[in-house]
Structure 1
C-alpha cells in the first residue's frame, strides 16, 4: 500500500458526523466520485488501512461492505477490494499532497479546529491598515502586463542586484504566488516521463506540480547541511530535466546549505545545463546571524531560476510571487506565463510594490513575530511532549519533529478528532520516508499555541494507550 498516497486521499476523512465506518465509506465514495479513484483501482487491504487510520479492522471491513452493497466497489476473496467497473467515471485527479485549507473541511463539531498544515502569517488589524494604505493607486491602470507591472519588475530586479545577483527587469516575471511560478517552470521544462530531482523531504506543492507535469520524481537525501553536491552529482547520469532546491531554511527541515556547497551545486547544474529552481520564499525569515548568498549568485547567468513571494513575509491573500530567470531560459517562461493568464492582478501588484518599498520594516516585524511563536512552541513541546524530538531551526517557520512511533500518519488522522489538523512528514517525501515525523509550523497566533499543544498532548496520550489499532469501531 502506498501510505503517502492514501494519507493524502483521506486527509480529513472523519469530518462528517456518524459512526466511523460510515465516515470512512463516505470519504472513499467521494474519492471515486471525484475521479481520484477510478474503475479497477485496488483499495488497501483492510488491516493495512486500519493501521494507517488507527481504526479497528472491523471498522474498515464494515466500510468496504457498505460500499460493496451500494455498488461502488467489488470484493472477492483472494483478490481484494476494487473500485467497481460501473462506478461513476470522472476525469482522473491527482491525490494532492498540498493540504486543503481547514476552512473548507470544518464540518459539524470542528468549528474550533486548529490547523497546523497551512503556514501563512495571520492577518492582524495592523496588517489591514497597512494594506489599505498600500492600496493607493491600485486601481489606476487597466492594461495587460503579462510579465508583471513594469515598476514592480524594476524594483525586484534592483533588489536582486543589491543582494549580489545582477538582474535586469526583463529577467523578472511576476506571478500569482510562488506556487504558480513553480508550476509554470515545471510545465515548461518537464514532459511526461522526464526525471525531476527534489530534496526529500521537500515542499509538497513542488511535488504536486512536478507530478502533474507527468514527471518521475527522485529524491535527494538531506543531511545536516541540506543536499550535498555529491548526491546531486551521483544523480546527473540519470538524465534529470529539472531540479528543485531550497538552500535557505529548507521546508520542512530548516537546513541551510553552506556557501562552499552552494558554489559546487551551482557549478554542477550550470555545467550540466540543468534548469534548477531555487526556492527563496523563506529567505527573509532568518533568526539572526549571516545568511549565505543565494545559490544563483555563484552562477548569475547559469541555469538557476529564483522563486520568491510575499506570502510568507506579509500576507498570502495577495497571491503575489515572482521568478528571476537567466536570460537563456526566459523565452519559454515568458510564453508560459502569457498563456497562463495575460498577467497577474494589477491591484495586488501595486499593493506589493508599495509594501516592498518598506521591505526592511516588513522583514523585521515578521522576524519578531516568528521568533516569538517559535520560542513559545519549542517551550510548550519540551514541557508537555518531551518524547518528541527536534532541533530548533535557524530560520523559516517550521519544526521538523520526530515522534517515537513508526506510524505518525495514523497519529495525524487520530489528532483530527481532538481538534488539531496535522500534516504527516512522510507525505513530504518523493518516495518512501520513515513514517516518524511531523511538520509543525509556528504560524498560529501565539495565544493559540498553548491550546494546540494541549490538544496534541491529549491526542498523543490516547494514541499511545490504544496501541497500533483502535479498539472501538
Structure 2
C-alpha cells in the first residue's frame, strides 16, 4: 500500500455526520468519481487501511461492503479488492501531492504549507502600492516593465548579469515551473530532480506526462558526481535543483559542487531550473553564488518569488531566462494567460525597491519562529530528530516510525494538518519524515506542539497495541 498517497487521498474523510464506515465509503466514492481511483485499481487490504486510518478492521469491512453493494468495487478471493470496471467516474485526475485545501480560520494548525505572517502595516503598504496599477491602461504579458528592470538589476548586483528582457513575471514560482515544464517536456521525457524535493515541482512535471528521476540529497545537497552520473545514465530533457536552503531538507550546496554541476549542465546543454525562492532567507549561513553564475551561457533558468519573502497571497513570481531561450519561453508565457495581475506586480515593485530591509525583517521573524519551534520539539517530543537549518523555513524531521503517513491522519483529529515527507520523494522514500515549516504565528506554536504531542502519544499507544495483537 502506498501510504502517503492514501493518506493524502483520504485527508478529511471523517468530516461530516454519520457512522465512520459510511464516511469512509463516501470518501472512496469521491475518489472514484473524480478519477483519482481508476477502474480495476487495487485497493488496500482491510487490515492495512485500518492501521493507516487508526480505525478498526470491522469499520473498513463495513465500508467495503457498502461499496461492493453499490457496484463501486469488486472483491475476489486471491486477487483482493479492486475498483469496479464499470464504476461511475470522471476524467483521469493526477494524484496531486500539492495541498489544494488549506486550513480555514484559527481552529486548525496548518503545517502543510509555509505562509509568512502578514501584519497591519504590511497590509497598508500593499493597499497603497496596488493603487498605482489603476494608472495603467494596458496589460503586460511578459510582466510590468519597471518590475522586470528592477529584478534584472537585483540579479546583476548578485553576480548574474541580466537585462530586463531576460526576466518574465509569472503567477508565483509555481507558475514559472509549470511554464518551463510545458516548454521543455513532452510525455515520457525524463526530468531530473533532487529527492526529496518540492512537491509542486513533482506535480508540475508529472502533469505533462514526464518521468521523474531522483538524485538523492545528502547533508550538502545533491552531489556533483551523482548529478553527472544521472545525466549520463538517463539523458533527461530537464533538471530541477534547489541548491540554497533546499526544500525540504534545508541543505546548502557548496560552491565547488555548484561549479561542477554548472559544467555538467553546460556540457550536456541540459535545460535546468535553479529554484531561488528561499535564497534570501539565510540566518547563520550566507548563500554561495548561484549555479548559473558559473555557466552564464548555459540553459539555466532561475526562478524566484515573493511568496516566501513576503506574502504567498501576492502570487508574484519570476524567471530569469537565458537570452537564447527568451523568444520561445516568452511566447509560451504570453499564451498561458496574457500576464499576471497588475496590482500584485505594482505591490512587488514597491516591496523589492527596499529589498535589503525586506530581507532583514523576514529573516528576523523566521529566526524567532524557528528557534521557538525547535525548543518546543526538544522539550515535548525529544525522540523526533532534526538538524537545525541555517536558513530557509523548514525543519526536516525524522520520526521513530515507518508509518508517518498514518500519524498525519491521527494528528488531523487533533486539529493539526501535516504533510508526510514520503510524498516529497521522487522515488521511494522511507515513511519516517515530516516537513514542518516554522512560519506559524509564534503565539500559536506552543498549543500546536502540545497537540502534536497528544497525537503522538495516542499514535504510539495504538502502535503498541497492534504489535501485541
Relative to the length of structure 1, the TM-score reads 0.95
Bigger Cα displacement from structure 2, 240-249 vs 63-72: 63-72
The Cα shift of 1:21 comes to: 2.1
Q: Per-residue displacement from partner, 1:253-308 (whole Å, max 9, x unpaired)?
A: 00000100000011101110101111111111110342211111111221110000
Q: Structure 1 residue 331 and structure 2 residue 327: aligned?
A: yes
Q: Per-residue displacement from partner, 1:377-434 (whole Å, max 9, x unpaired)?
A: 0000000000001000000101000100111110001110011000000000012101
Q: Per-residue displacement from partner, 1:292-351 (whole Å, max 9, x unpaired)?
A: 111111112211100000001111111100000111222221121111001111111111
Q: Is the 8 A contact 2:394 2:436 kept in 1?
A: yes
The Cα shift of 1:469 comes to: 7.2
Instruction: Tell me what 1:148 maps to.
Output: 143
Relative to the length of structure 2, the TM-score reads 0.96
Structure 1's 170 and 294: CA in aligned 2 closer, same or farther, altered over 3 A? Answer: same
Q: Structure 1 residue 278 and structure 2 residue 274: aligned?
A: yes
Instruction: Tell me what 1:53 maps to.
Output: 53
Instruction: Tell me what 1:24 maps to.
Output: 24
Could you tell me how far apart the structure 2 residues matched to 1:78 and 1:197 are? 38
Q: Per-residue displacement from partner, 1:433-454 (whole Å, max 9, x unpaired)?
A: 0111100001110000000000
Q: Structure 1 residue 342 and structure 2 residue 342: aligned?
A: no
Bigger Cα displacement from structure 2, 6-15 vs 171-180: 6-15
Q: Structure 1 residue 6 and structure 2 residue 6: aligned?
A: yes
Could you tell me how far apart the structure 2 residues matched to 1:363 and 1:381 are? 27
What is the DSSP-based 3-state SS (H/G/I as helix, E as strand, rest coil) of the residue aligned with 2:444?
A: helix
Instruction: Tell me what 2:440 maps to.
Output: 444
Could you tell me how far apart the structure 1 residues matched to 2:266 and 2:7 are? 37
Q: What pairs with 1:195-274 in structure 2 (closer than 5 Å)?
A: 195-237=190-232, 238-274=234-270
Q: Is the 8 A contact 2:284 2:390 kept in 1?
A: yes
Q: Structure 1 residue 139 and structure 2 residue 134: aligned?
A: yes
Q: What pairs with 1:347-386 in structure 2 (closer than 5 Å)?
A: 347-386=343-382
Q: Per-residue displacement from partner, 1:162-220 (whole Å, max 9, x unpaired)?
A: 00000011110100111010001111111110111111100000000010010111111
Could you tell me how far apart the structure 2 residues matched to 1:52 and 1:193 are? 32
Instruction: Tell me what 2:90 maps to.
Output: 90
Q: Is the 8 A contact 1:55 1:470 kept in 2?
A: no
Count of aligned positions: 466
Q: Is the 8 A contact 1:227 1:257 kept in 2?
A: yes
Unmatched runs of 5 consecutive residues or more in structure 1: none
Q: Is the 8 A contact 1:122 1:315 kept in 2?
A: yes
The Cα shift of 1:142 comes to: 3.0
Could you tell me how far apart the structure 1 residues matched to 2:380 and 2:2 are? 32
Q: Is the 8 A contact 1:173 1:322 kept in 2?
A: yes
Q: Per-residue displacement from partner, 1:41-83 (whole Å, max 9, x unpaired)?
A: 2212222222332333222222111111222212222222222
Structure 1's 43 and 291: CA in aligned 2 closer, same or farther, altered over 3 A? Answer: same
